[in-house]
Amino acid sequence: MPTTTFDAPAGPLPAHLAVPAGEGPWPGVVVVHDAFGFTDDLKRITDRFAASGYLALAPALFRRGNRLRCVVSTLKSLQDGRGPAVDDVLAAAAHLRADDRCTGRVGSVGFCMGGGFALLTAPSGSFDAAAPNYGIWPGNREELSRACPTVASYGARDRMLPGAAAELEERLTAGGVAHDVHEYPGVGHSFMNEWGTPAPLRFVERIAGLAYSRPEAEDAWRRILAFFGEHLR
């Protein structure tokens, strides 16, 4: 499924690059996947950003050897704030900025684990805006008062992240960071991810609080695109 590669400190990494129609240049967006890895859902999300006028790049973070080891290493990088996965995300931003089709302004968007990377790198200076969606807390949450402009979405029924929206709101407000943080009351974790789960297994998603919900997902998309339009264009 990856359509390109880009250079990173640990070596080239596969990625899906989605290019808008027409003539650029366009702002860039790095799309960071969740713990399920490089899925059709990720490709759809990346393509949707391109259809909205963003040069979008989704790195395949689990492609550096054994998958299980990659997952463990990636989650460790998220908590440590350093490591190959962090380097890969930052290298993806640098790759977009170096592309003549990019305006030089780059945002990040992520889901669950990927949302954690969007939070982790928001204070790094590498991104002009960030969109963490139910992002798990990175190891540097105390630095979020220095984040780039941030639009974040959470579900009030998310058992993994109770109180996360309120805490992020507080940290961003304390630092005077431009932000839009919203908690949707009727949904849980992963409400924006449409994995195409077979019908017999969808009740498992609902019980686990991981079910896709179109109304809330579309409203979150509306907010993200409006926020990115303000801060990346």
pLDDT in tens, 205-227: 555 557 899 999 999 999 999 99
Task: Write down the H helix ranges in 132-194.
Answer: 164-174
For residue 123, the one-letter residue type is: P
For position 59, what pLDDT does the model report? 97
| CA 153 to chain CA mean position, Å | 11
| Paired strand residues for 88 | none
Confidence of residue 67 (pLDDT cuts 50, 70, 90): confident
Express each pLDDT in 124-140 by its tens digit: 999 999 999 999 999 99
Domains delineated in the chain: 4-232 (3.40.50.1820)
**Comparing 27-31, 32-36, 116-120, which segment has the lowest mean pLDDT?**
32-36
This prediction's pTM: 0.93
Integer angstrom CA distances of residue 47 from 111, 171, 212: 15, 32, 18
Closest to 45 (Cα-Cα) out of 108, 103, 102: 108
pLDDT at 86: 97
**Considering the chain, what is the average pLDDT of its residues?**
92
Query: Six-digit token pair at 153?
Result: 């979405």
For the ranges 26-35, 71-80, 199-208, the lowest mean pLDDT is seen at: 199-208
64: confidence class by pLDDT, cuts 50, 70, 90: confident
Instruction: Give the per-residue pLDDT at 199.
Output: 43
Per-residue pLDDT band for 143 (boundaries 50, 70, 90) equals very high
